[in-house]
Amino acid sequence: MENQLINEPASAKPPKGLMALLVLTFINTGGAIVMGLVSLIFFQPTAESLRKSKIDMAKSISVFKEIGFNEMADLLSRLQVMSEILSHNFLASTSLNILFSMLGCFSAVLMYKRNILGFHAYIIYSFLAAGSIYFFVSPANVPTVILITNLLISLVFVLLYARHLKWLRKEA
């Protein structure tokens, strides 16, 4: 077993670009897992914190309406509805996001081990992570900019990972 590891060609090492992507993925998914667990344990929303948040958001919305920024006021009111729904489903939404982040981390491990299934799992993770909010919140209450931003970031990462498919398929 040790001889196999020593005698493998130099191309068995992941390319530097792939390693950079993997590190970024581990930071993102690992951070999401840790923050999700910390939130579950220590920062569950209380009725008082939800009430205070609602009052603060209402003040911000009224300020934007007063100065004529109706689009921003609409965005904030949709974010408030979204936040309330997610707070009421805190345990389920946070647990689901932790699960999706674990899938993303696992897919990166597979790619590091030169398994092409990691790339496919990463694509699935990207779609699930970008659309996870829709498991709890109606599309009418989710600002489109959130979905577009998440999908664009996911697309960039998938395309960057796709540049290393030859290495993952063990063709390089």
Q: 50-98, pLDDT tens digit by residue?
A: 888 888 888 888 888 888 888 888 888 888 889 889 989 999 999 999 9
User: Which pLDDT score, from 0 to 100, does residue 1 have?
Assistant: 45
Tell me the residue range of the domain where 157 lies: 15-168
Assigned domain for 8 exists:
no
128 part of a folded domain: yes
User: Does residue 7 form part of some domain?
Assistant: no
pLDDT of residue 163: 95
Domain contains 122: yes
Q: What percent of the chain has pLDDT over 70?
A: 93
> Mean pLDDT of all residues in the chain?
89
Give the pLDDT band of residue 11 (cuts 50, 70, 90): low
Question: How many C-beta neighbours within 10 Å does residue 20 have?
Answer: 12
| Amino acid making up residue 107 | S
Does pTM top 0.75 for this prediction? Answer: yes
In a domain, 4, yes or no: no
